Amino acid sequence: MLGGTMTESSSHWQGLLNSANAGELVLDPAVGNGLAQDCDRNLANLESILEMTQDVGYVTGFGGFPSGEVLQAKFTLKGSTGEDSIQNRIKEHINEVMLMKQVFAKAIENYHSVDQSNAANLAGIDFPS
């Protein structure tokens, strides 16, 4: 990932969600809906990639030497069951994109709230004729 770790990026998006939940972040629906659609496409792609990783859940073919067995165990862990496995990394990306989508949805909701509030404020103003 460019510019930082997945944890840093998730923390950034969590901070943005907190700001959106506090009403501090607004997003024009035309922009936000486009971003949400991009998130949906990314989620579909990531889910597809996650399915493909099932093929690397158990890796063989390193031979019968002890070093081959060590490599087999190492790559099997990377493939599916280890903490740092490709499946876990893809799931982290899925969670982050879902978090992004929440930020966009809440920011759009805030936009509508601000718009309605402004309209109500304008309706209450007496303009001289």
Q: Say if 30 falls within a structural domain.
A: yes
Q: How many domains does the chain have?
A: 1
Global confidence as pTM = 0.75
Residue 98 structural domain: 25-115
Q: Where are the alpha helices (DSSP H) in 2-85?
A: 6-21, 29-52, 66-76
pLDDT of residue 3: 52
What Cα–Cα distance (Å) separates residue 72 from each residue in 22, 54, 55, 57, 113?
49, 16, 14, 11, 56
Q: Say if 52 falls within a structural domain.
A: yes
pLDDT of residue 8: 80
Are 105 and 36 in contact, with CB atoms under 8 Å apart? yes
pLDDT of residue 42: 98
Q: Say if 64 falls within a structural domain.
A: yes
Query: What are 61's two structure tokens?
Result: 């073919």
Q: Say if 85 falls within a structural domain.
A: yes
Q: Say if 1 falls within a structural domain.
A: no
pLDDT of residue 113: 83
Q: Say if 48 falls within a structural domain.
A: yes
Q: Say if 81 falls within a structural domain.
A: yes
Average pLDDT for runs of 10 along the chain of length 129: 67 96 96 98 97 83 89 83 86 96 97 73 69
Compute the distance between CA of residue 89 and CA of residue 49 in angstroms, rounded to an integer: 11
